[in-house]
Amino acid sequence: MANRNNPSDRPPAGVMTPLEPGIRRIIAPNPSPMTYWGTNTFVLGEGDVAVIDPGPADPVHMDALLSGLQRGERVTQILVTHSHLDHSPLARPLSEATGAPIMAYGDAQAGRSEVMRDLVARGLSSGGEGVDAGFRPDVRISDGEILRAGGLDIEAIWTPGHFANHLSFAWQGAVFTGDHVMGWASSLVSPPDGDLTAFMASCAKLAARADRIYFPAHGAAITDPAARMAWLIAHRQSREADLLATLADGRPTTVSALTRTIYTDTPPALIPAAERNVFAHLIDLVTRKIVVAEPQLEAHADFRRIG
Ligand SMILES: [Zn+2]
């Protein structure tokens, strides 16, 4: 499974590449440790086409995308999986250039759980993962909605967890999984945009479907979705088991103490991200009444195992 994402065979950015009948991909020139080889922008259909995840606000990428279409083709819908800066900012310029509406679950706050809304009200801000705070779709899509896009019937699946407004899009056994499921990394879950309780529910939702192939927004296609979902769920469960073992004595502890106990090999620069991840698990455990936070649920609380 790892070899499919070998860096030595990374495809180049800016080249419109057919993947399957009705599915093309063009990679944005934004490679990084967070985006792998860059954002995959997908083009669905032929003639009248839908674009999934236009990518970062880069005019070079927009030119490559539009000039990569066949003569006479036009973009009729712009679908956005979620409003991180590597996915949604080119949507507005592309809409202005083509007249196509931007379709997404909602703005950058849409879909947040009550727990996350409460944490935001108490001062928790996003962790610097690059939120497109001004994102506003023209059309809001709800869970299970069938979109007539690019001449195709595409099913929208609300998959919050990496981001509250995250949608996946399904068509003929292929699912465009955005950042929810990727082949080269587990998904980042950083509160308040990231919500582990929602993430696990979204994983269960996708795992219950018998889809043929996943096309993530970064990296290569996943040709065995069932195996990848099983791995992703087990990966999170093993992190949770590590946390619960550390909390087993029932003594109160903090996010930073837990992070230092669990992430012993992590370079200092990555500790803040690891703390966000530990906090994501603790929020989920508090929601499930396995852990309590004192005096209240926030990043600097004391956490104690009760279940
Ligand atoms: Zn993202």
> Is the model's pLDDT at 149 over the cut of 90?
no
Instruction: Quickly tell me which residue has 């696990």 as its tokens.
Output: 200
> Is the model's pLDDT at 303 over the cut of 70?
yes
For residue 22, CA distances in Å to 18, 121, 151, 211, 245 come to 8, 44, 10, 17, 48
Calculate how far, in angstroms, residue 163's C-alpha sits from the geometric centre of ligand 1: 7
Residue 249: count other Cβ atoms within 10 Å of its Cβ: 9
Calculate how far, in angstroms, residue 34's C-alpha sits from the geometric centre of ligand 1: 9
pTM: 0.94
Higher-scoring residue by pLDDT: 272, 212: 212
Structure letter (DSSP) for residue 227: H
Give the separation between CA 69 and CA 80, rounded to whole angstroms: 19
Residue 89: count other Cβ atoms within 10 Å of its Cβ: 21
Calculate how far, in angstroms, residue 251's C-alpha sits from the geometric centre of ligand 1: 35
For residue 106, CA distances in Å to 115, 142, 178 come to 19, 9, 15
Could you tell me what percent of the chain has a pLDDT over 70? 97
Minimum mean pLDDT among 35-44, 122-131, 207-216: which range? 122-131
Calculate how far, in angstroms, residue 1's C-alpha sits from the geometric centre of ligand 1: 22
Section 158-181 average pLDDT:
98
Calculate how far, in angstroms, residue 40's C-alpha sits from the geometric centre of ligand 1: 12
Q: What are phi and psi of 160, to 5 degrees?
A: -65, 160
Calculate how far, in angstroms, residue 82's C-alpha sits from the geometric centre of ligand 1: 7
Give me the pLDDT at residue 6, please.
57
Calculate how far, in angstroms, residue 139's C-alpha sits from the geometric centre of ligand 1: 20
Give me the pLDDT at residue 132, please.
97
Contact 87, 217 (CB under 8 A): yes
Calculate how far, in angstroms, residue 294's C-alpha sits from the geometric centre of ligand 1: 31
Calculate how far, in angstroms, residue 233's C-alpha sits from the geometric centre of ligand 1: 18
What is the three-class DSSP state of 224? coil
Give the separation between CA 1 and CA 221, rounded to whole angstroms: 11
Q: Strand 102-104's sheet: what is its strand order? A: 17-20, 23-27, 40-44, 48-52, 74-79, 102-104, 139-140
Calculate how far, in angstroms, residue 37's C-alpha sits from the geometric centre of ligand 1: 14
Return the exposure string of 264-293: e unless at least 16 CB atoms fall within 10 Å of the residue's CB, then b: eeeeeeeeebbbbbbbbbbbbbbbeebbbb
Calculate how far, in angstroms, residue 189's C-alpha sits from the geometric centre of ligand 1: 9
For residue 115, CA distances in Å to 4, 20, 179, 269, 295 come to 38, 41, 22, 28, 16
Contact 41, 25 (CB under 8 A): yes
Average pLDDT, the chain: 94
Give me the pLDDT at residue 245, please.
95
Calculate how far, in angstroms, residue 307's C-alpha sits from the geometric centre of ligand 1: 32
What is the three-class DSSP state of 194? coil
Give me the pLDDT at residue 8, please.
57
pLDDT tens, 42-78? 999 999 999 999 999 999 999 999 999 999 999 999 9
Calculate how far, in angstroms, residue 288's C-alpha sits from the geometric centre of ligand 1: 25
Calculate how far, in angstroms, residue 8's C-alpha sits from the geometric centre of ligand 1: 24
Higher-scoring residue by pLDDT: 149, 113: 113
Torsion of CA 41, 107, 206, 217, to 10 degrees: 20
